[in-house]
Structure 1
Amino acid sequence: MTHTKERRDFFRINDIIGLSYTELTGDDEPKYPDVSGEMGLPLANLLGEVDATFNNIANTIWKEEPTVAQALGLLNRKISLLAAHIMQADGSDADSYQDIIVSLSGCGMGFHSNEALTESARLRVAVILKPSHVEVKFTATVVSCEPLPPEKKHAYWIRISIDKGNDAAQEQLIQHVVQKQYSSIAISKT
Structure 2
Amino acid sequence: MTEDKPTTAEQERRRFFRIDDEVGLALTPVAASDEEAAIAAHQGSTNRIGLLNELRGMRYEHLPQQRSLESKFPTVASYIRILERQLDILAQAIDGRDDFPSKPNTMANISAQGLSLMTDEVFAIDSMVSVKLALFPDLCRIEALGRVVRGETTSPKADVAIEFTHLRDADREAIIRHIYLLQRQRLQARYEDE
**What is the TM-score with the length of structure 2 in the denominator?**
0.68
Residue 113 of structure 1 and its aligned partner are, at CA, apart by 0.7
* Structure 2 unaligned blocks of 5 or more: 68-77
**Which of 130, 136, 143 is 2:136 aligned to?**
130
What whole-Å deviation, never above 9, does each CA across 1:123-147 have from its counterpart, x for those lacking one? 1111111111121000000001112
Residue 165 of structure 1 and its aligned partner are, at CA, apart by 5.7
Residue 106 of structure 1 and its aligned partner are, at CA, apart by 0.7
Alpha carbons of structure 1 residues 182 and 176: separation in structure 2 relative to 1, 3 Å? same
- Contact kept? 2:18, 2:179, Cα under 8 Å: yes
- CA distance in 2 between counterparts of 1:166 and 1:47 reads 12
Residue 84 of structure 1 and its aligned partner are, at CA, apart by 8.0
The percent of aligned pairs where both chains have the same amino acid is 20
Aligned positions, number: 170
Pairing 1:30–2:38 present: yes
Alpha carbons of structure 1 residues 79 and 15: separation in structure 2 relative to 1, 3 Å? farther
What whole-Å deviation, never above 9, does each CA across 1:69-113 have from its counterpart, x for those lacking one? xxx9xx9xx77985686467x342345776101000110000111
Structure 1 window deviating more from structure 2 (103-112 vs 42-51): it is: 42-51
Provide the alpha-carbon RMSD of the alignment. Answer: 3.8
Pairing 1:15–2:24 present: no
Which residue of 2 is the match for residue 65 of structure 1?
none
Pairing 1:144–2:146 present: no
Which residue of 1 is the match for residue 164 of structure 2?
162
Equivalence map 1:33-44=2 (5 Å): 33-34=42-43, 43-44=48-49
Pairing 1:93–2:106 present: no
Equivalence map 1:54-73=2 (5 Å): 54-56=59-61
* Structure 1 unaligned blocks of 5 or more: 63-71
**1:47 counterpart letter in structure 2:** L
- Contact kept? 1:124, 1:138, Cα under 8 Å: yes
1:48 match: secondary structure: helix
Which residue of 2 is the match for residue 49 of structure 1?
54
Equivalence map 1:87-126=2 (5 Å): 90-95=96-101, 99-126=105-132
- CA distance in 2 between counterparts of 1:23 and 1:138 reads 12
- Contact kept? 2:27, 2:131, Cα under 8 Å: yes
- CA distance in 1 between counterparts of 2:167 and 2:93 reads 28
- Contact kept? 2:26, 2:101, Cα under 8 Å: no
Residue 161 of structure 1 and its aligned partner are, at CA, apart by 0.3
Residue 21 of structure 1 and its aligned partner are, at CA, apart by 1.4
| Rg (Cα) greater in structure | 2
**2:118 counterpart letter in structure 1:** H
- Contact kept? 1:139, 1:166, Cα under 8 Å: no
Alpha carbons of structure 1 residues 118 and 80: separation in structure 2 relative to 1, 3 Å? farther
Alpha carbons of structure 1 residues 113 and 180: separation in structure 2 relative to 1, 3 Å? same
**1:103 counterpart letter in structure 2:** N
Alpha carbons of structure 1 residues 96 and 48: separation in structure 2 relative to 1, 3 Å? closer
